[in-house]
Amino acid sequence: MHKAEFWIEQLQLLPHPEGGFYRETYRSGGAYPFEAPPFNGPRSYVTAIHYLLRGEDRSKLHQIHSDELWFFHAGDPLTVYLLPESGHFSSFTLGLEADKGQVLQETVTAATWFGACCENSSDESYALVSCVVAPGFDFRDFAFADRKILQQKFPRHTDIIERLT
């Protein structure tokens, strides 16, 4: 199995503001002409990235205005934690071991607070995934979570919120 540094170099990944490393691999040529919230301007039909988290990295809790599909490629299991506005906390684990409840792909719906980390936090651990966003990703639609607000809304999950903010 390759190490994280191999994939970072081979895929030309760069540091991501939320944590980990990424590179946009696709942005559709067409765009939706959104004029109303939450978008307030055109957005590509779809975008895709390669995304890698090392064992010690965290994808900090954040929210976007679009659905995001996650696809597992290589490495160790990656757990994605979901804190939707409805208040029903959930998570899924991307990985190759279906018999342990891991999945190859899963969706985070629009306006859900979410973050991720490797199941194994060792120095050698990593997870390589792809994320597809529709309508396409735009940093204008990206917001980091406020720890105190989420802890008030999800008091039973303060440990995860602290870990991912």
Domain extents for the chain? 4-163
pTM score, two decimals?
0.96
How many helices (H) and strands (E) are present in the chain, helices listed first? 3, 13
CATH of 4-163, one of 2.60.120.10, 1.20.140.10, 3.40.50.300, 3.40.1190.20: 2.60.120.10
Mean pLDDT over all residues of the chain?
96
Query: And the tokens for 78?
Result: 């990656």
Q: Which amino acid is at 98?
A: A
Q: Is the pLDDT of residue 148 over 90?
A: yes
Q: Is the pLDDT of residue 33 over 90?
A: yes
Tens of pLDDT, residue by residue over 60-82, are 999 999 999 999 999 999 999 99
Q: Is the pLDDT of residue 142 over 80?
A: yes
Mean pLDDT of 1-27: 97
> Given pLDDT bands bounded at 50, 70 and 90, which one contains residue 85?
confident
Q: Which amino acid is at 139?
A: F
* Residue 101: half-sphere exposure toward Cβ, Cα within 13 Å: 5
